[in-house]
Amino acid sequence: MAYDAQGKLHEIFDEQQVSEKFRKREFVLEIPDGAYTQFIKFQLTQDKCNLLDQFNVGDEVKVAFNLSGKPFTKNGTTMYFTNLGAWRVEAANGASAGNSSAPRSNNAAQPAASTFVMDEADNDLPF
């Protein structure tokens, strides 16, 4: 399933080489949600790790991601892990990428309280 989220880049982590064949890079998106701001962590993997190179903390971006979950059983106890696997990051509202020092209008529209939108037609994955 493909979803979209829009918000401000709150934190960008360094790329991690997890194993010889697997690398990842995580980032946090700050999303206004009424009185409570949400801080959502996403993960980029393999050749997608460089998608954040053109952006800076504070930039408004739109992220396309897949939602996945897996069970893990240890000592008879099953735990569940959820991952938000980003596969596209682009500047929101036509803003130029990586230009967080550009003047911003105070009248700019804020993203809706719930910005998670399923959009199968916008899925550019090869499978």
**pLDDT of 12-34, one tens digit each?**
999 899 899 999 999 999 999 88
110 domain residue, yes or no: yes
69 domain residue, yes or no: yes
**Domain carrying residue 117:** 2-122
Q: Give how far the C-alpha of residue 9 lies from the chain's centroid of Cα atoms, to the nearest Å.
A: 9
Q: Report the CATH number at residue 116.
A: 2.40.50.140
* Residue 2: per-residue pLDDT: 82
127 domain residue, yes or no: no
* Residue 94: per-residue pLDDT: 60
18 domain residue, yes or no: yes
* pTM reported for the whole predicted model: 0.68
Residue 81: CB atoms within 10 Å? 9
pLDDT per position in the chain (127 positions), as tens?
Answer: 789 999 999 999 998 998 999 999 999 999 998 899 999 999 999 999 999 999 999 999 999 999 999 999 999 999 999 999 999 999 987 644 433 333 333 333 334 433 444 444 444 444 3
29 domain residue, yes or no: yes
* Count of structural domains within the chain: 1
28 domain residue, yes or no: yes
